Structure 1
Amino acid sequence: MDLTLLYILISVFIVSLISFVGVFTMVLRKKTMEKILLFLVSFAAGSLFGGAFLHLLPEAVDTGGSGTIGFTILGILIFFVLEKFLFWQHCHKPGCHEHTFAYMSLVGDGIHNFIDGVVIAASFLVSNQTGMVSTVAIVLHEIPQELSDFAIMIHGGFTTTKALVLNFISALTAFLGALCAFYVLSSFLVYLPLLLAFAAGGFIYIGGSDLVPELHKETEPKRSFLVFVSLVMGVALILLFVE
C-alpha cells in the first residue's frame, strides 16, 4: 500500500473515532459539560485559524501563486451555502419533529465528514506535515461538533447505542471522501493548491461563523480571559508544526 494513502486512512480513522466522544454527555453533568464545551470550542477555533493562515494558505500560495486566494473566498461562500441550506436546517415549523431533525443532522454531518476526508487526503498529498496540521485542526473541531450532534440525537428520541452507531456510520463517509480525493487528485496534482485554498476558506468560515460567536456568549471577565487563552493555545498548537 502507498505510504501516503496509509497515513490518510489512519488520520481519517482517528477523526472517525471522535464520533464516540458523545458518550461523555451521558457521564458528565450538564453544567460541567457546558463549561468544558466552551473551552473546547475556543481551542478548536484557534486551531482552525492557525491551520488556515499558518499552513493551508501559505502552502497554496507558495505552490499555486496568489491567484489561489480566490478559491479561499469561494470556500467561504460554499461553506456558507452548505451550512445555510443543508447542515443546520433548524426545525421551527409546526409538525416538524425533533426525530426528523436528528436524521437531517446525520445527513448533514455525513456530507461534512466527506469533505473532511477530502481535505485530509489533499493535505497529505502536499506533505505529511500539512496533512497532520489539517488532521489536528479537524479533530479539535469535531470534538465539540460530535458532542452537539450526539445531544441532538438523544433529544430526538434515539437510544444511546443507536445514536453512537449512527453517528459512527455518518463519520465513515470521511473514508469515501478521502479515497475519492486520493485517487482523483493523484492524477491531477496541479489542482492541489486550489483545493488547499478552498479548505482554508472552509476553516476560516467554520471558525469565524460557527465557533467565535459562541465564545462571545461568555460575559464573565475571568472566564472570558480563559476563553481567549484557549483560543491562543489553539493557534500555538498549530505553530508547533510550522518549520
Structure 2
Amino acid sequence: MLAWFMGLEVWVQALIGTLFTWGMTALGASFVFFFRSIKREMFNLMLGFASGVMIAASFWSLLAPAIEMADEQGAISWLVVAIGFSLGGIFLYIADKTIPHMHFGFDHDKEGIPTKLKRNILLVFSITLHNIPEGLAVGVAFGAIHYTTGSILGATLSAIGLAIGIGIQNFPEGAAVSIPLRQEGMSRRKAFFYGQASGFVEPIAGVLGAILVIYVSTILPYALAFAAGAMIYVVVEELIPEAQQKVTPKGAHYAVLGVMVGFIMMMMLDVALG
C-alpha cells in the first residue's frame, strides 16, 4: 500500500492527504447527529488539543525542515524562516481584517469589513480562513518530497504523519463547530454541513501548495515557514482565546491539558515517522 502511494504524483499524494483531513473534520462534525450540546470544559479541551497539534506541527513538520532546506540551498536559514514565518502571520492578519467573517464557537463575533451578508455566509468565510494554513502545510510537506536529498521514504512518512496529525486535530474541531451551532437552534443537517465545511478548503490549499513548490523549488523553505506562521497566527488569535472565554479555573485547566496532550501527540508522531 505504501509503495503504491509513493508511486503517485506528489500533488495526488497531497490531495489524498488533505481529503483525509477533510474526512476527519466531517467525522467530527457528524457528532451533531448524536449530541445536542457540548460542555464548555470539553469544548475547551478540544480547542486546546487542536492548538497543541498545530504548535507542534509548526516546528517539527514545517520550521525544522525549512531550516534544513535553506541550509542546503546555501541561504541564510534563520533569515529565510523569519521572512516566511512573518509573511504567514501577515497574510492571515490582512485576511482577518479585510474579509468579512464570523468566529466559530459559542460567541460569534463579527470581524473584517462591515457587510450585510448572512450570518451563515460569514461563518463559512471564517472556516475557510481558519483551514487554509492546515491544507497548505500538508500540501507543501508533500511537495517537499520532490526535492528531498535524503530518504524519500522518510520524507513521505513525515508528510503522512503531518496529514494524520492535522486530521486527528480536525476531528474534535469539526465537532467544536457543528455542536455549538446546533445549540443555537440550527438544524442537525445544517450544523453538520457547516461543520464539515471547515475542512473543505484543505484539499484545495493542499494541492495548490504542492504544485507551487514543485515548480518553484527556491520558495520551498519560505512556503514551509509561511504555513507555520499562518498556523501559529490561528492558534494565538482564535483557538486559545476562544478556549479561555467564560471559564472557571478548572475550565482553563482543560484547555491547557488539551494543548499539552496535542503537542506531545504531534511531536511523537512526527519524530516517529520523520
TM-score by length of 1: 0.80
Opposite residue 117 of structure 1, the aligned amino acid is: G
Opposite residue 53 of structure 1, the aligned amino acid is: F
What is the CA–CA distance in structure 2 between the aligned matches of 1:27 and 1:182, rounded to whole Å?
A: 37
Q: Which sits farther off after the overlay, 109-118 or 172-181?
A: 109-118
Go from structure 1 to structure 2 and tell me whether the alpha carbon gap of 1:168 and 1:230 turns closer, same or farther (over 3 Å shift): closer
What is the CA–CA distance in structure 1 between the aligned matches of 2:128 and 2:137, rounded to whole Å?
A: 14
What is the CA–CA distance in structure 2 between the aligned matches of 1:194 and 1:201, rounded to whole Å?
A: 10
What is the CA–CA distance in structure 2 between the aligned matches of 1:27 and 1:7, rounded to whole Å?
A: 33
TM-score by length of 2: 0.72
What is the CA–CA distance in structure 1 between the aligned matches of 2:140 and 2:210, rounded to whole Å?
A: 7
Go from structure 1 to structure 2 and tell me whether the alpha carbon gap of 1:133 and 1:78 turns closer, same or farther (over 3 Å shift): farther
Alpha-carbon contact 1:61-1:67 (below 8 Å) kept: no
Question: Secondary structure at 2:242's aligned position in 1?
Answer: helix
Go from structure 1 to structure 2 and tell me whether the alpha carbon gap of 1:206 and 1:133 turns closer, same or farther (over 3 Å shift): farther
Counterpart of 1:74 in structure 2 is 87
What is the CA–CA distance in structure 1 between the aligned matches of 2:88 and 2:42, rounded to whole Å?
A: 30
Q: Which sits farther off after the overlay, 33-42 or 21-30?
A: 21-30
Alpha-carbon contact 1:39-1:230 (below 8 Å) kept: yes
List per-residue Cα deviations over 1:149-207 (Å, max 9, x = no partner): 43576578764334434654664333332222333321212211101101111121122
Q: Does 1:150 align with 2:168?
A: no
What is the CA–CA distance in structure 2 between the aligned matches of 1:116 and 1:239, rounded to whole Å?
A: 16
What is the CA–CA distance in structure 2 between the aligned matches of 1:155 and 1:80, rounded to whole Å?
A: 30
Go from structure 1 to structure 2 and tell me whether the alpha carbon gap of 1:238 and 1:113 turns closer, same or farther (over 3 Å shift): closer
Go from structure 1 to structure 2 and tell me whether the alpha carbon gap of 1:75 and 1:27 turns closer, same or farther (over 3 Å shift): same
Partner residue of 2:136 out of 118, 143, 149? 118
CA offset at residue 142 of structure 1?
3.2
Go from structure 1 to structure 2 and tell me whether the alpha carbon gap of 1:112 and 1:102 turns closer, same or farther (over 3 Å shift): same
Partner residue of 2:97 out of 84, 102, 107? 84
Q: Does 1:21 align with 2:28?
A: yes
What is the CA–CA distance in structure 1 between the aligned matches of 2:243 and 2:185, rounded to whole Å?
A: 29
Counterpart of 2:152 in structure 1 is none
Alpha-carbon contact 2:213-2:220 (below 8 Å) kept: yes
What is the CA–CA distance in structure 1 between the aligned matches of 2:22 and 2:186, rounded to whole Å?
A: 20
Show structure 1 runs of 5+ residues with no match. Answer: none
CA offset at residue 113 of structure 1?
4.0
Go from structure 1 to structure 2 and tell me whether the alpha carbon gap of 1:47 and 1:117 turns closer, same or farther (over 3 Å shift): closer
CA offset at residue 41 of structure 1?
1.0
Question: Secondary structure at 2:215's aligned position in 1?
Answer: coil
Counterpart of 1:42 in structure 2 is 48
Show structure 2 runs of 5+ residues with no match. Answer: 1-6, 71-76, 103-108, 145-154
What is the CA–CA distance in structure 1 between the aligned matches of 2:66 and 2:169, rounded to whole Å?
A: 22
Pairs aligned (count)? 237
Go from structure 1 to structure 2 and tell me whether the alpha carbon gap of 1:46 and 1:72 turns closer, same or farther (over 3 Å shift): same
Partner residue of 1:220 out of 249, 264, 272? 249
What is the CA–CA distance in structure 1 between the aligned matches of 2:36 and 2:185, rounded to whole Å?
A: 19
What is the CA–CA distance in structure 1 between the aligned matches of 2:62 and 2:200, rounded to whole Å?
A: 24
Equivalent residue runs for 1:162-173 within 5 Å: 162-165=190-193, 168=196, 171-173=199-201
What is the CA–CA distance in structure 1 between the aligned matches of 2:234 and 2:51, rounded to whole Å?
A: 8
Q: Which one has a larger percent helix, Structure 1 or Structure 2?
A: 1
Q: Does 1:53 align with 2:82?
A: no
Opposite residue 79 of structure 2, the aligned amino acid is: G
CA root-mean-square deviation: 3.1
